Chains A and B, each alone.
Chain A
Amino acid sequence: MNEELYTLEQVESVLLDSGDTAWIIVSTILVLMMTIPGLALFYGGLVRRKNVLSVLMQCLILTAVIIIEWVVVGYSLAFTTGGDKIDFFIGGFDKIFLNGIGVGQLLEGYSIPELLFVSFQGMFAVITPALIIGAFAERIKFKGFLLFSVLWALIVYNPLAHWVWGGGWIGELGAIDFAGGTVVHINAGVSALVMAILLGKRKGWNIKSEDPITPHNIPFVVIGTALLWMGWLGFNGGSGLAADGISANAILVTNIAAAAAALTWTFLDKIINKKPTVVGFCTGVVAGLVAITPAAGSTGVLGAFVIGIISGLVCFWMVAYVKPRFEYDDSLDAFGVHGVGGIIGSILIGVFATQAITGEGGAQGTLYGNWSQLWVQFIATLATVLFSALMTWLLFKIVDKLVGIRISSKSESVGLDISEHGEIAYE
């Protein structure tokens, strides 16, 4: 009889919370909305009209393919224990095909079903390779793109997710990445830069040209930005895996950083080029959202405000000055916004993390007298940059050898919509 009695703590630890579960279900939907149609429209509007369908299709196919990949093997590689020798690097195969995860099973240490966690994390696995599309847009073969992206999800995303969130070495080190500054944004952004350089410039792309390549549908960019912004509230707000004060703070700081970065960009536009541009505002929004992503669970209003402003300043500088200086054709600024914004957020956690948010004994930054967190954040960032760059370089060489990545010059001139997909966007 006595054996059936549990302590209060034990009872709490095995109860599903319907509020938490409901919020993470909503967050999962929000994060899916970020890729399709959010990112698809954002990127689709920025390319020329002859390539808009290719970008939409790339976002669509990645959503489908990565959902399958995630269930088959991705989740297991990222979120199971890989055995003593390799667990610092990658998880194991215990949960391939979601082996053994029952409907009633809760995620260990949380009050939501593990199956829900699988879905929620799966949406992150989808959007990360989709972000890279921005770097090679308008000049990539569909076949090469798909093979590259799937392999990238398998051997770049999964290990990194394991390093940071699945019990690997970066997480063990104490580095903070609340919603994917390293795993999602630095990872995708740095890979984007490597891809842009290896793939070469688009035909006719010259940043100082009198005939620049400009967006074909800015209202698409606006709708995409708005959907990204809304979705991001689930991206960051759901990453605490609960509906509580931390998620409320995450949503608050996410909005603050996005607003601060957008205003910063618009201010710079007005000062430097005399006109506040719509694409500029939208780019600022995304820069702020990216930068606050890793920090949304550890910083408050002040941190978010400063992170937003700094990300607006630095991303503007990267896109308007550094890119023209080095002339790499990062078509839609996947590196300039996601890579750089992610690095800013990831590092600045080490400055602005506060125990007002992380709780007593939690992480805090240099602003509160602790220098060790900054150092840890720096290592996590550097490791991510190096790993992403190296692996992407390797994958590019392999896939290029196997099926070819760069589209033929003739098809590029015609446009990817007709040459790769046999369709025309606007009759």
Chain B
Amino acid sequence: MKKIEAIIRKSKFDEVRKALHNADIDFLSWWEVKGQGTATQGLIFRGIAYDVNAIDRIFLSFVVREINVQKSVDAILKSAFTGESGDGRIFVYTIDQSIRIRTGDRGDESLYDKQK
């Protein structure tokens, strides 16, 4: 089991979500966050222009079975890409255990819908 986290552009979020859905990733959490890096965002307040380096980002996180890791990463890579500075990062972690609260399923079984 792997956890995949990604920090992506806010403007790319809808595309990433759709791409993950097409790759059969149905369980997904995300947060709106601010991030700081080399990119800046132009803001104007009462006649003064600022280059603000705190930029709105989406932070998303989900856990998948080993067989789904590659296609999840590929889906994000493809859909979040613009080629300009500030496209974001993907992180992959190993997960020790996963338990579905409703059924008590453990491990891989807790990560997909058996009825489907």
Chain A residues near B (Cβ < 8 Å): 207, 209-212, 214-215, 268-269, 272-273, 275, 277, 279-280, 283, 316, 319-321, 324, 333
Contact = CB atoms under 8 A, between A and B. Distances in A.
Interface of B: 40, 43-54
Contacts of A272: 47
B47 A316 contact: yes
A283 B52 contact: no
Contacts, number: 45
A320 B48 contact: yes
B46 A210 contact: no
Contacts of B53: 210-211
A273 B46 contact: no
- Interface-centre pick from A207, A212, A283 (highest chain B CB count, 10 A): A212
A394 to B, nearest CB: 30
A211 B54 contact: yes
Contact of B50 (A210, A269, A321): A210
Contacts of A211: 52-54
Majority secondary structure of chain A interface residues (helix, strand, loop or mixed): helix
A324 B52 contact: no
Nearest to B40: A210
Contact of A333 (B46, B49, B51, B52): B46
A211 B40 CA distance: 11
Contacts of A273: 44, 47-49
A324 B48 contact: yes
Contacts of A268: 47
Contacts of A333: 46
A279 B45 contact: yes
B14 to A, nearest CB: 23
A256 B31 CA distance: 46
Contact of B51 (A207, A210, A283, A324): A210
Contact of B48 (A207, A215, A275): A207
